[in-house]
Structure 1
């Protein structure tokens, strides 16, 4: 161990005491020599080639010598500058020291680099991010260089560049990148702007809701009969902050269109109720039209597609109950306006029973059949039968009236004609989350809003160009038949891959490869029958 000379035994008495790690035990003889001032005498003839300016704090280092110079400068300034506009400068003597290094960067270069950083306008910009940005390469070419060091030698010190980035960040985002920075951005750039993206901010100190959408997106929303809504969890750095997206899939354009984003800092029934109320209130005030729902007012929105979120569902129902003149219970509104995502339902089935066989007699098939029951009585009967299997809790949950109403047309109070027209999945929201995550994950609030603004502006502009000029967002055909054929092609490719994988497993287990080499393949018919039986057991054939 290493300790203070005043350290006494087991009692440290506040004096320094540190156990030497085992990986440093081979160095203990060296440490003893250093503590006893033995060996390792400094090299008297060692040369030092460091050159510092007189303003450097390193000049106080004991081994640095301050060079003197006998050169004398004289400057003569006339008393009356109006009569004589010139100043006389003289120099006497010869310099006896090397020229000082050029550490000071010309002010015009600093201003130019600050302008480049300002144009990039990235609150998370780093030194490496700046070095690989095309705007910096253009700046270097303007000054006949390929790098910052070519522009001026003082940029060899990268801390100088880091300081400029930090300075510009303070100028552009004086309130930071969290909620204070978002509020500052809203007041200085979006409030009163006809092209505003941040439409409203609610912050009571505990609950935060940031409503982000363009006016063009809200206009598209008002033209729809239904939309999809889902929460994303991976985009923001703070794990408590989440993003709720409103989306739709345009059958005419074959494209997912994001309608709005709401950033929140918690997940609760009360927050969902407040979110829906404030969101539709903001849209209503933006266009000066009331927000109507068909089952309440006889016209307006018909349904919302969502997953079976135990907080979003009652929060949305309470919002509808709040705008209902008769103040009917929120569960009544859920039965009339909510449809659940069938993909999430199937994932729930797989979590309950696993990815097993999917034969018509399998438990998986019976659970999936809940969506296809032809009456409410048949649905409830099947739920009762499933409660006798190992999925009793799952079946009890699906038997609840507000869950059944969103899964089966005959249990729902949504107009059957509307039910058949709806896309009963939230694939559009999943694709929106995927596009957003491709711009980056674990982002600050302000940065996530900036990237969302880029994506949402592109969405509504692509929709407008397709409507008015007939230019699609991709060369691929977006027709239903083409997409169906592409899905079949992918499924066939995956089936072929699975087939080859299972073939290899089968051959390894039966050691047929070695038997074939020795000419003892056996009966081909029996082998084929055995292989097909094995293939079916892998749950890849229905």
Structure 2
């Protein structure tokens, strides 16, 4: 071997004789190919990138130009190399992983920027953590709303962490927008109290003044629409009580909390043992006009003897639940009640929309994907307000949405009135089985109890008819008054 390798950096090896082994396989990927693949990987969403997503992505397909990956070099036939390249990029960009520690690292890294997306993260003694995500544009816009929808999403984040969204449909831009995302791992009332403290505290820091609630300040947020999650409701009441103790937590809820009617009816439909009469009575409770009517129907439902009705009525007689489903028990301003939605459809559509960007994600990947989604949505809104160019040709005004909703409801009604042949056969078979069962069990049935239960149901139907009759009489009186007014004013009816 030469000593002056700097002057002549070459070594010649001479092998004599026959080789009795095959040449080694080309397992090492050349540097230029490896470097190019690493650049393509770094340009993807690295947090939730997998080998399959990478190999089916448009960037790698464009780079390969119809070839197979192994055509670049035989070593790439071992696709575990792709996993190694991906993990290398993930470790480089997110050294603390993608769970809570990774979120803390991202929060500390961007906390001093002008408008960070992760606004706060805190840990409590009970093991709970709360990560609040929103831009200043989102929180300032939230402070100007008169109503919001809140709901928990369970499909987007992997593991025990759930995502809680604050959403609302804005008619002026014909769009449902998300105003905040909060990630937490506990759903107790105390946890939700901490959650609301972080949310409204962040808003107050951004707007530089106290956040207004309509039932406290006479302006501001007047209605929060949600499902009947007990921890969520009581957590909101406890937060408001801690700020404004002149009202109890339940009284605060009676002024601001409104329950989703879709969830209300869906929970009724879960009890398949209910008769159609009792189910109909449950449906009309939110639409009754006086407290006496509501209580009378609830007591009739409770006393009908059908399975599950006693527990259902007990739950609905809870003060904050009753005020959330019935306007006659709510202390909310009646104008606000009538002008705000009676469902959380905007929140559900927001869940479905963001889920298209990925589900079952890690905590950090869910936050980053949510940030990118919110950025697209809010930039689209800004363009619409500035240039009047919508994000779709479809008319999404409130009128068009109402018409479309009625068409869907009518389609469902027609479908229920016209069952298919298969459904008819199943129904007939069920009737035959029920008849056989009734005949065989007739001797064992307590006839007196059955008659008594039937009498209670009949009484309930009678009361419902009386209520409907009273409504019809009121409508007739209103029509007569309108006709008299028109006669006095000399207006001819059409």
Residues 148, 353 of structure 1: CA spacing in aligned structure 2 closer, same or farther, 3 A cutoff? closer
Q: For the residues of structure 2 that align with 1:489 and 1:429, how far apart are their CA atoms?
A: 21
Q: For the residues of structure 2 that align with 1:167 and 1:428, how far apart are their CA atoms?
A: 40
Residue 312 of structure 2 corresponds to: 394
Residue 341 of structure 1 corresponds to: 260
Q: Is 1:150 aligned to residue 68 of structure 2?
A: no
Q: Give secondary structure in 1 for the equivalent of 2:370.
A: helix
How far residue 493 of structure 1 moved from its aligned partner, in angstroms, is 4.2
Q: For the residues of structure 1 that align with 2:428 and 2:243, how far apart are their CA atoms?
A: 68
Residue 228 of structure 1 corresponds to: 149
Q: Identify the range of structure 1 (418-427 vs 341-350) with the bigger mean alpha-carbon deviation.
A: 341-350
Question: If the length of structure 1 is used for normalisation, what is the TM-score?
Answer: 0.72
Using CA pairs under 8 Å that are at least 6 residues apart, name the structure with larger relative contact order, 1 or 2. Answer: 2
Q: For the residues of structure 2 that align with 1:510 and 1:223, how far apart are their CA atoms?
A: 57
Match of 1:248 among 153, 168, 181: 168
Residue 120 of structure 1 corresponds to: 44
How far residue 86 of structure 1 moved from its aligned partner, in angstroms, is 4.5
Whether the aligned pair in 2 keeps the contact of 1:253 and 1:478 (CA below 8 Å) is no
Match of 2:81 among 160, 164, 167: 160
**CA displacement 1:461-490 (0-9 Å, x = unmatched):** 222222111121221111333333333443
Whether the aligned pair in 2 keeps the contact of 1:77 and 1:87 (CA below 8 Å) is no
Whether the aligned pair in 1 keeps the contact of 2:144 and 2:220 (CA below 8 Å) is no
**CA displacement 1:9-64 (0-9 Å, x = unmatched):** xxxxxxxxxxxxxxxxxxxxxxxxxxxxxxxxxxxxxxxxxxxxxxxxxxxxxxxx
Q: For the residues of structure 1 that align with 2:59 and 2:265, how far apart are their CA atoms?
A: 48
Q: Is 1:371 aligned to residue 286 of structure 2?
A: yes
Match of 1:237 among 151, 155, 158: 158
Q: For the residues of structure 1 that align with 2:25 and 2:422, how far apart are their CA atoms?
A: 69
Residue 381 of structure 1 corresponds to: 296
**CA displacement 1:417-456 (0-9 Å, x = unmatched):** 1111111111111112222333333221111112212222
Whether the aligned pair in 2 keeps the contact of 1:178 and 1:445 (CA below 8 Å) is yes
Q: Any unmatched runs of 5+ in structure 1?
A: 1-74, 512-542
Residue 103 of structure 2 corresponds to: 182
Match of 2:56 among 107, 114, 132: 132
Larger radius of gyration: 1
**CA displacement 1:174-198 (0-9 Å, x = unmatched):** 111110111112222x312234221
Q: For the residues of structure 2 that align with 1:93 and 1:256, how far apart are their CA atoms?
A: 74
Aligned-residue Cα RMSD (Å) equals 2.7
Q: Give secondary structure in 1 for the equivalent of 2:43.
A: helix
How far residue 228 of structure 1 moved from its aligned partner, in angstroms, is 0.7
Residues 155, 296 of structure 1: CA spacing in aligned structure 2 closer, same or farther, 3 A cutoff? same
Residue 64 of structure 1 corresponds to: none
Residue 385 of structure 2 corresponds to: 467
Residue 72 of structure 1 corresponds to: none
Residue 169 of structure 1 corresponds to: 90
Residues 279, 130 of structure 1: CA spacing in aligned structure 2 closer, same or farther, 3 A cutoff? same
Residues 224, 508 of structure 1: CA spacing in aligned structure 2 closer, same or farther, 3 A cutoff? closer
Residue 67 of structure 1 corresponds to: none
Question: Where is the helix percentage greater, Structure 1 or Structure 2?
Answer: 2
Q: For the residues of structure 2 that align with 1:510 and 1:277, how far apart are their CA atoms?
A: 57
Whether the aligned pair in 2 keeps the contact of 1:466 and 1:473 (CA below 8 Å) is yes
Residues 377, 153 of structure 1: CA spacing in aligned structure 2 closer, same or farther, 3 A cutoff? same
Whether the aligned pair in 2 keeps the contact of 1:77 and 1:86 (CA below 8 Å) is no
Residue 370 of structure 2 corresponds to: 452
Whether the aligned pair in 1 keeps the contact of 2:117 and 2:134 (CA below 8 Å) is yes
Q: Is 1:111 aligned to residue 35 of structure 2?
A: yes
Q: Give secondary structure in 1 for the equivalent of 2:230.
A: coil
Q: Any unmatched runs of 5+ in structure 2?
A: 430-494
Q: For the residues of structure 2 that align with 1:257 and 1:435, how far apart are their CA atoms?
A: 10
Residues 372, 175 of structure 1: CA spacing in aligned structure 2 closer, same or farther, 3 A cutoff? same
Q: For the residues of structure 2 that align with 1:419 and 1:509, how far apart are their CA atoms?
A: 42
Whether the aligned pair in 2 keeps the contact of 1:137 and 1:147 (CA below 8 Å) is no
Q: For the residues of structure 2 that align with 1:475 and 1:412, how far apart are their CA atoms?
A: 40
Residue 131 of structure 2 corresponds to: 210
Question: If the length of structure 2 is used for normalisation, what is the TM-score?
Answer: 0.78
Residue 260 of structure 1 corresponds to: 180
1:365-514 superposed matches below 5 A: 365-389=280-304, 390=306, 391-495=309-413, 497-498=415-416, 501-503=419-421, 505-506=423-424
How many corresponding residue pairs? Answer: 423
How far residue 89 of structure 1 moved from its aligned partner, in angstroms, is 5.4
